[in-house]
Structure 1
Amino acid sequence: MIYRSSLGNGGFCQCQLFQSLKWRFDYNKASKLMKWDLLRLGGVALLLTCSFGIIVLWVYTDLVKYGREWIRFRPGRLLLRNTLVSEDKTISDPINTSLPSLPASALPILQNEVQAKYMMPTKDYLTSLRFIKSRAMTHVDCDAIMTGDETAIKFAETEREILYSEKNGTRKNMLLNSDQTVASWADNCTLYVKSRKYITSSLTLEEAEYPIAYIISIYKNIQSFEHLLRTIYQPQNIYCIHIDQKSLAEFQTRVMKIIKCFNNVFLAQHMTRVWYGHWTIVQASLYCMEDLIKRKNDYRWHYVINTCGQDYPTKTNLEIIRALKNLHGLNSVPSRTIKITEEKYRRFQFVYNHSMNIDIDHGGLYKTDVKKKPPPHNIQPFTGKDYFVFKREAVEYLLTDQRVLDFLEWAKDTKIPDETVWATLQRMHPRLPGSTPPDKKYDTYSGNTLSRTIQWQGPSTTCGGKFLRRVCVYGCADLNWIIEKKPLFANKFAPDVDIFAMNCLAEWLRNKTIDLTSNIYNN
């Protein structure tokens, strides 16, 4: 039965219309509510997206601030902190050497990058870098020795005689380390670098902005090499190691074990057997120069300094940088005019040959009867030493200029070419960047350049250690006057002659480094 209203059909229609309108009203209301829900949902999604973006931006900013070298640069490029490599780093070179040269306009940008990444060392970090004196040297007063105190020097010399007279004493084993022992320190790179107190962060902004390249040529005695590397090591610098290929394979393996602990220390891509007085001494430096230029985009080094395993610095890294800056763009290479009457002039008048199958340190070079032609391009020869301090632009020039390449080829069969080549190149003014004119008034000697302090045996010269092949191997009595000389390095030092002298000089340099750094920040 159908219920009808008492209003009749009209009332029934009105009721249906009312129901229809009510349904439409509910539908519109529901639609509006759904739209508001969608808007609210979209707002929440937008808020979450913005929040996520802010978090990502914050994380990225933090990474840029504290770890930009891992994001924007390959390991080793402009590193100021954490220059150590992981334990599983291989000996292979990780750096891409095919990059184009950076334009000069990029240098300020790179300097800004260095400034942005530089972090001032803490007082605790500086304190941790001080060397701890070995128990075997407890009674040796290094501070007094460095000031030239005769009592302290005489006591050290007496202790030295006792030490070296021991056949296998405990104290001797603590101070004189075998190649095997030194190499074993690098079994764990992290512990090795920390225990040997290598400087792993640039101590000052001035040092961070002024990388230096080093060439280290070695043949034997890993303790001497490691002693030198630890003293001159800085994370912003770069180091090319050339090993004389006459050395034992075991020695070379042990050297590689040490240098694998650092990203900015590498073996030369090409290495040769080296003989005294032969072209191979020059070739060893040229090999490293080529490798250093390939890495100039990764380390914007300003100057290159060549050293050997028996050299030792007499200045701190900051003092070396300031000495290089005072060159005002010049190189520092011993170079003097050769007199026709002196023996050195006859070194390139005849062809000299070397018996390449004679594996000896000295000798094997003999003069032939073949008259040698004059140097190409009317280049005037000069004489000097095997040591040099060349600016990067000079190295780029001498590796590519045809006149220089022709001269290098000419010098290959001369006698002791290492004392002629660098000295002559330094006077190729104005072609070679940083060179000086050939006029005699521009002659320089070892003593008034930055290259090396060497004490030759003579009637009026003394040696606190002992003379070896007419060159002084320094002892404690020599340290006070050595550090007062202008050159940045001194030659020679040897652990088997005076380990006290090496350790005292190392301790003095490290303490001076820390004191200089502290004074900069205290002022």
Structure 2
Amino acid sequence: MIAYLILVHRFPDQFKRMFRAIHVPGNHYLIHVDQRSGPAMKADIAAFLKPYVNVAMLPSRKMLWGGYSLVDAELRGMAMLLKMNADWRYFINLSGQDFPLKSQAYIADFLASHDGAQFIRAVPQQAVRPDTMNRLSHYFLEIFNRIVRTGIARRPMAAVTPYIGTQWKAVTRDFCAFACHNPAARRFKQFYRRTLIADEGFFQTLMMNAFADTRIVNDDLRTIDWIPDGDIKLRPRTFVTRDALRLTLSPDLFARKFDAEEDSHILDLLEAHLLTPAAQTLPAPGSVHATMLQASGRIISPA
């Protein structure tokens, strides 16, 4: 059983399409609509979700790219999902502009075959991405709908190696409970609350430094095409129809991002793909597809 947290801030009709593609009665779904999207969008999505089982809305708060508010939404979502049901095994976070590349049966079988593994991109930040260490070296504030760099230097966390990756993950219930409720996680929350783009480092650093005896696969199970974008440096390219072959052959479980206003046909193609055997059934051991899956992640050890 899987627990999904979906963060939505625009394109409600596209979200609905994605939700239909991932909903099955056995899973649990929690939806957060950015408060800045307005009450009309929230009401529209709430009305859409009403007929579905095992679905709830997370109380809306303002979300800001680069701010700790994204981490806060995930922690609140994890905590609410833990209360909603005691049986789910894996937590997966999505945005409203994601789309599945595999069926829910395939995803459930994949996670069961790797039970206990944490799927999250995590590399040592100083060694691999030293250009991002400025996110931690000074205090940042999330105020007035923007991120403010204070210029006030801060000390690093004692005896902690910072890690970095992406926001996206498929992690176990045990890790969610640890992140939400274990006292050992408190100082990580306090530190990352005043950093920049905390959602790409908080969970990785907490897991690699404080969550012992777990298998970590350096893979977020997403197909994402990162491209340069000015000061942001990298952003996910929007997939379109010409990407269909790449996406349908991908061993990943999800892809991002999509914009139905730019190209809705790619979603038509992916919806049809989800009905094919390749998207429905986990490949047999030794097959070419199984080999691709095995090669897609790298086991790494905590610091």
Specify the alignment match of 1:262 in structure 2: 52
Task: Compute the TM-score of the two structures, normalised by the length of structure 2.
Answer: 0.85
For 2:139, the aligned partner's letter is: V
Structure 2 CA distance for partners of 1:263 and 1:470, relative to 1, 3 Å: closer
Q: Aligned to 1:227, which of 13, 17, 29?
A: 17
Tell me, yes or no, if the aligned pair for 1:214 and 1:238 is still in contact at 8 Å: yes
1:496 alignment partner, SS class: coil
Compare the two structures and name the one with the higher strand fraction.
Answer: 2
Q: Aligned to 1:410, which of 175, 191, 198?
A: 191
Specify the alignment match of 1:351 in structure 2: 139
Structure 2 CA distance for partners of 1:405 and 1:432, relative to 1, 3 Å: farther
Task: Compute the TM-score of the two structures, normalised by the length of structure 1.
Answer: 0.50
Is the counterpart of residue 283 in structure 1 residue 72 in structure 2? yes
Higher relative contact order (CA 8 A, sep 6+): 2
Counterpart Cα distance in 2 of 1:369 and 1:256:
42
Specify the alignment match of 2:35 in structure 1: 245
Compare the two structures and name the one with the higher helix fraction.
Answer: 1
Q: CA deviation at 1:320?
A: 0.8
Kindly provide the CA deviation profile for residues 438-458 of structure 1, in whole angstroms up to 9, marking residues without a partner as x: xxxx8x2xxxx2432110226
Is the counterpart of residue 218 in structure 1 residue 47 in structure 2? no
Counterpart Cα distance in 1 of 2:75 and 2:252:
22
Counterpart Cα distance in 2 of 1:399 and 1:435:
20
Greater C-alpha radius of gyration:
1
Counterpart Cα distance in 2 of 1:402 and 1:379:
16
Counterpart Cα distance in 2 of 1:498 and 1:231:
18
Counterpart Cα distance in 1 of 2:3 and 2:22:
11
Specify the alignment match of 2:245 in structure 1: 480
Q: CA deviation at 1:426?
A: 2.8
Structure 2 CA distance for partners of 1:513 and 1:457, relative to 1, 3 Å: closer
Kindly provide the CA deviation profile for residues 22-71 of structure 1, in whole angstroms up to 9, marking residues without a partner as x: xxxxxxxxxxxxxxxxxxxxxxxxxxxxxxxxxxxxxxxxxxxxxxxxxx
For 2:222, the aligned partner's letter is: R
Structure 2 CA distance for partners of 1:365 and 1:327, relative to 1, 3 Å: same
Q: Aligned to 2:214, which of 409, 434, 447?
A: 434
Gaps of 5+ in 1: 1-210, 359-363, 437-441, 459-468, 518-523
RMSD: 2.2
Is the counterpart of residue 389 in structure 1 residue 177 in structure 2? no
Counterpart Cα distance in 2 of 1:418 and 1:310:
17
Q: CA deviation at 1:491?
A: 0.5
Q: CA deviation at 1:348?
A: 0.3
Counterpart Cα distance in 2 of 1:433 and 1:240:
28
Structure 2 CA distance for partners of 1:514 and 1:428, relative to 1, 3 Å: closer
Identity rate of aligned residues, in percent? Answer: 23
Counterpart Cα distance in 1 of 2:119 and 2:21:
22
For 2:102, the aligned partner's letter is: K
Counterpart Cα distance in 2 of 1:244 and 1:291:
17
Specify the alignment match of 2:293 in structure 1: none
Is the counterpart of residue 369 in structure 1 residue 151 in structure 2? yes
Tell me, yes or no, if the aligned pair for 2:106 and 2:280 is still in contact at 8 Å: no
Counterpart Cα distance in 2 of 1:321 and 1:337:
30
Q: CA deviation at 1:382?
A: 0.2
